[in-house]
Structure 1
Amino acid sequence: MFRFIPRRLFNTGLFLQQESSKLIKSSCPAGTVLNVNVKKSGKDPIALEDHEYPAWLWEVLDKEAQDRKLAQDPLKLRKKQIRKANRARIKQNNFLQQL
């Protein structure tokens, strides 16, 4: 139905960084041991300063930023809409089968 054609887009990181006026602060101070180690021989990660993290990290949970990003790429937006409709249809069919 749809064919995926890879293409390279221009980096808009600086543009988005200037655009966002909200400054989100980290939930823990720099230098804090995070205690999220999952490997037996691994080391616990240490929190960094806010400016040391990449800019995209602060927009991951921001719904408005994600919606703006999806609006720029209509194929991704349509794919997400189809996936959401399919999940709803599957849940509805599963519910009806239980009756």
Structure 2
Amino acid sequence: MALSYIRSLRSMNIPKELIQMGGCRTFAVGSKSKKGGKGGAAADASKASTIIKEVKASAVVGANILKDGANPKILQDSEYSGWLWHLLDKRPALSELRRKDIESLPYEDIKRFVKLDNQARIKENNSIRAKN
């Protein structure tokens, strides 16, 4: 499967800037400069970089999962739901929740405490059973 994926990538014409953004490792290509050329490669590179900048500024590249769909457009921050901005907030660990008074915790933290405590007890029981 990996070989067929690599073969399909070789046949595609991907700009260098896009590859560098994705963190893909590439191998150096030998220099094939022609004497007396008109410099067409440099013109193509500048066109590709402007296209990539336009695409990055207007759409989420790679977010399309449908065959016939298009990449979603980037909206203003005010047009997104409020919960989206709290997805990456730090949540308290189980040890920190155990130190606090359960009665004073908000509902979300109580729910998280119960979930993490159940996971910890299951892991402990599984490790005890595995040793016997």
Give the TM bin, normalised by the shorter chain.
0.3 to 0.5
TM-score, normalised via structure 2 length? 0.38
TM-score, normalised via structure 1 length? 0.48
> Where is the helix percentage greater, Structure 1 or Structure 2?
2
- Say which one has the larger Rg: 2
